[in-house]
Amino acid sequence: MNEANNTISRRGLVGIATAGLAASVASSPAASQARQSNPAPAPGRRRLGKLEVSAIGIGVQNNSRKYTTETPYRPEQVALLRAAFDGGVTFFDTAEAYGPHECERILGEAIQPFRDKVVITSKFGWNIDLETGVRGPGLNSRPEHIKLAVEGSLRRLRTDRIDLLYQHRVDPAVPIEDVAGAVQDLMKQGKVKHWGLSEMGLGTLRRAHAALPVTAVQNEYSMLWRGPESDVIPLCEELGIGFVPWSPLGVQFLTGWIDANTRFAPGDIRGAESRFSPENLPHNLQLVALLKQWAERKRAAPGQIALAWLLAQKPWIVPIPGTTVMAHMDQNAGAAAIRFTPDEVAELNLAVRAIDVRGQRLPDAVLVHSGREAPAKR
């Protein structure tokens, strides 16, 4: 999206992040007490469990290869990530699978001058060769593999610890208690500070949290995919776990870049998602029309409204939009400055939920790994 003069820049991030929060579902007494026992975050920050981060983070996934399959110019990506920090972003998310390996290298280079002032995440769990990065079939969360994968991530990230380590997808062959045990060993060594899960089954999240307290869950969540609202977000609220939406801009859809005539090049994963098929796309563009209406009303960009809407759902939600373009990064971070009144939140929620999005969010081959439950510990 082109950055308009009336949009809010990343410089508005500091000091304004939690205005206009939507009323939340009552959480369990234990979770409420845990959240209240943590000191209030600094202006422009939020808490994922005990971990304080900027209200909007940045996802470092496409910085080695765009959806459209081009390779971005690496020095520009390093400069973009450093500019994000200069603008107030302190939460940087990546994974060994992104690249694979290359996005960790880009992030490690970018944050080296200010490593101790930011929170970085990475993820393990896909079956990726530890040396070559070649991706094999299926998943691998065997404890010995986790520990070796983390060693590789630490080298590429040029750091001695990962602040938040996620299991990228649940391995159906490894009890989650064994995964938690491996992560706990890494914590004892100081190599990992917090841990989380992504796209897991609800039972697995409960078991994981009982074995080793979980700081955050990362799932797809946006106006385009609201699935977590029915079960994952309520469970996070019950357990006092933070929530990090990936793809908060709906793989660029919610920025207004995609229209009814858009078709995707070979290799672009969006071409395999039926929500963007020629049959479903015109219907789903109702969301973009809604965003454009609110963007005009709030003097912002459509993508900023989509991000601000996520922030307004819960005070412990921290979206991580990714981008390879400096102006878009500036715009994304600035979404934290957009204010909604409680009445506006209710009005926007009603309008969003009135639009029934058609089509699947991911191809079947990828979607099969979401919502899985780990096997029982024997």
Secondary structure (DSSP) of 134-163: -EEEEE---HHHHHHHHHHHHHHHTSS-EE
**Which runs of consecutive H residues, i.e. helices, occur in the chain?**
29-37, 74-86, 102-111, 143-157, 176-188, 202-211, 232-239, 281-284, 286-298, 302-313, 326-334, 342-353, 364-367
- Active-site position among 67, 73, 98, 166: 98
Can 98 be counted among the known catalytic residues? yes
CA 40 from centre of chain: 22
Rounded to 10 deg, the angle between the 326-334 and 74-86 helix axes is 20
Q: How many C-beta neighbours within 10 Å does residue 284 have?
A: 21
Q: Which of 193, 191, 190 is nearest to 213 (CA)?
A: 193
Question: What does the radius of gyration of the chain's CA atoms come to, in whole angstroms?
Answer: 19
CB 145 within 8 A of CB 186: no
Distance of alpha carbon 15 from alpha carbon 12, whole angstroms: 7
Active site residues: 98
